[in-house]
Amino acid sequence: MADVSFIGLGAMGFALADTAAKSGRETVVWNRTRGKALPLVERNATIASSPAEAISASPLVVVCVSDYETSNALLGTNDCVSALKGRVLVQLSSGSPRLARAALESSKQAGISYLDGEIAAYTDQIGRADAQILIAGDEEAYSTAESLLKTLAPQTRYLGADPAKSSALNLAILSGSVGLIAGIINGAAICEAAGISPLEFGRDLPQLVMADVDSIAESMEKIENGGLEITDAPIEGWAAIIDLMIQFAEENGYSADVSKFIRQFFGQAANQGFGSHDVGALIHVLRPGKD
């Protein structure tokens, strides 16, 4: 028996399999386009001739293809389902919480131990100290897969038995990323309107943004443990700053849409009585049952 089999050798699957093989693990790989597997032969990996053959070769099977639809089509054949029985399947293709729960359910019925993960890293981070995989599902399966996962991504975090948690946490992190992107591009528009070079704006941005990221991380603690009414930077103060952004956009003829959207969010919290609270209190606007 080999140590691990990888199904899917796109940009990410290849980085995973390459790192596993480099770590000295006996590795079996399968990819639809066989040519992508060839460089791994130099690392002593074995190329399987079908997904079922790859699965049969190892107790631990990692799948990383475009999406769940592709993965379900590949692994849902009778050959694959019967080969997977009694093995640990680690799903690392991106998906949604609903798809992760459905995959756990069908795996359970087929006698497959299932883990669902999201790779919170770029391909060149795989195997590096800062790489992270968010993983959830069967606890016993995690103890089988833990050593491999921590070789691939040393910051791997196990989130418990509910397989939906890895994709949900990944969505939460990406929500932070898209918010940051929208806000920073809005800042670039302010700079353009004022004749400031985007390079000037970008120069100290990482440090400046980190200060806000540290502060919002403290708000998470207040959401969890209380204390949202204590702050030096209340929601109403931020709302006044956003008003200045809207005014500046309107005076300079560029779109105020991003600022107006954020202003509405902060305004709703103020209308609900949280104007003097920490920005963590914005969560009241989003909770189920709120307008």
Is position 13 an interface residue for ligand NAP (rule: CB under 6 A)? Answer: yes
Q: Which residue from 86, 98, 105, 122 is in contact with ligand NAP, where contact means CB under 6 A?
A: 122
User: What distance separates the 2 farthest-apart alpha carbons in the chain?
Assistant: 70
Residues numbered 79-98 forming contacts with ligand NAP, rule: CB under 6 A? 93-94
When CB distances to ligand NAP are compared, the closest residue is: 10
Is position 177 an interface residue for ligand NAP (rule: CB under 6 A)? Answer: no
Minimum distance of ligand NAP from residue 32's CB (angstroms): 3
Is position 11 an interface residue for ligand NAP (rule: CB under 6 A)? Answer: yes
DSSP lists the bridge partners of residue 5 as 28, 61
Is position 10 an interface residue for ligand NAP (rule: CB under 6 A)? Answer: yes
Per CB under 6 A, the segment of 9-17, 37-45, 104-112, 161-169 that binds ligand NAP is 9-17
Within a 10 A sphere around the Cβ of 200, how many other Cβ atoms?
9
What is the spatial distance between Cα 211 and Cα 233, in angstroms, rounded to a whole number?
13
What is the spatial distance between Cα 270 and Cα 285, in angstroms, rounded to a whole number?
10
DSSP lists the bridge partners of residue 136 as 116
Per CB under 6 A, the segment of 116-124, 180-188, 230-238, 258-266 that binds ligand NAP is 116-124
Is position 198 an interface residue for ligand NAP (rule: CB under 6 A)? Answer: no
CB contact at 8 A, 27 and 6: yes
Cβ-based nearer residue to ligand NAP, 22 or 36:
36
What radius of gyration do the chain's Cα atoms show? 24
What is the spatial distance between Cα 6 and Cα 16, in angstroms, rounded to a whole number?
8
Cβ-based nearer residue to ligand NAP, 33 or 207:
33
Is position 17 an interface residue for ligand NAP (rule: CB under 6 A)? Answer: no
Minimum distance of ligand NAP from residue 100's CB (angstroms): 13
Contacting residues for 268 by C-beta, under 8 A, at least 6 apart: 285, 291
Q: In degrees rounded to 5, what are phi and psi of residue 64?
A: -145, 85
Binding site for ligand NAP (CB under 6 A): 8-13, 31-33, 36, 64-67, 70, 74, 93-94, 119, 122-123
